[in-house]
Amino acid sequence: MAAWIIASIIFSALVFSLEFYAFQALKTITKNKAIKALWIIVTVAFYGYFIYTLVTTPRSAGQTNAIQLASGFLLTLVMPKLLLVFFMLGEDVFRILKKGYSWLTPGETAVFESRRVFIAKIALGLAAIPFASFIYGIVQGRYNYKVLKYQLTFNDLPDAFDGFKITQISDIHAGSFTNKEKIMYGIDLINKQQSDLMVFTGDLVNNMASEMDNWVSVFKSLEAPYGKYSVLGNHDYGDYVSWDSPEDKIKNFEAVKAVHPKMGFNLLLDEHRYIEKDGQRLALIGVENWGKGFNQAGDLQKASEKVLADDFKILLTHDPSHWEHQVKENTFNYQLTLSGHTHGLQMGIEIPGWFKWSPSQYIYKQWAGLYQEYGRFINVNRGFGYHAFPGRVGIWPEITVIELKKGEKNT
Q: In what order do the strands lie in the sheet with 376-380?
A: 271-277, 280-286, 313-316, 336-339, 376-380, 369-373
Q: What angle do CA 394, 364, 75 make, to 5 degrees?
A: 45
The full length of the chain comes to 411
Confidence of residue 183 (pLDDT cuts 50, 70, 90): very high
Confidence of residue 10 (pLDDT cuts 50, 70, 90): confident
Q: Where are the domains of the chain?
A: 2-139, 144-406
The answer on pLDDT for 398 being more than 50 is: yes
Q: Pick from 353, 318, 321, 343: which is nearest to 394 by CA?
A: 343
* Poorest-pLDDT segment among 87-91, 110-114, 119-123, 398-402: 110-114
Confidence of residue 105 (pLDDT cuts 50, 70, 90): low
DSSP state of 410: P
Q: Which CATH superfamily is domain 144-406 in?
A: Metallo-dependent phosphatases (3.60.21.10)
Q: How many CB atoms lie within 10 A of CB 296?
A: 16
Mean of the pLDDT values across residues 161-183? Answer: 97
pLDDT in tens, 314-345: 999 999 999 999 999 999 999 999 999 999 99
Q: What are phi and psi of 142, to 5 degrees?
A: -70, -15
The answer on pLDDT for 110 being more than 60 is: no
Confidence of residue 410 (pLDDT cuts 50, 70, 90): very low
**CA gap 214, 223 in Å, rounded:** 19
Q: Pick from 382, 400, 401: which is nearest to 392 by CA?
A: 382
Q: What's residue 91's pLDDT?
A: 63
Instruction: Show Cβ contacts of residue 113 under 8 Å, excluding neighbours closer than 6 positions.
Output: 98
CA gyration radius for the chain?
Answer: 26
**CA gap 108, 118 in Å, rounded:** 17
Q: What's residue 11's pLDDT?
A: 79
pTM of the model: 0.89
The answer on pLDDT for 309 being more than 60 is: yes
**CA gap 271, 124 in Å, rounded:** 55
Q: Pick from 150, 159, 407, 400: which is nearest to 282 by CA?
A: 159
**CA gap 167, 401 in Å, rounded:** 4
pLDDT in tens, 200-210: 999 999 999 99
Confidence of residue 411 (pLDDT cuts 50, 70, 90): very low
**CA gap 85, 91 in Å, rounded:** 9
Burial of 108 (0-12, 13-18, 19+ CB in 10 A): exposed
Confidence of residue 124 (pLDDT cuts 50, 70, 90): confident
The answer on pLDDT for 182 being more than 90 is: yes
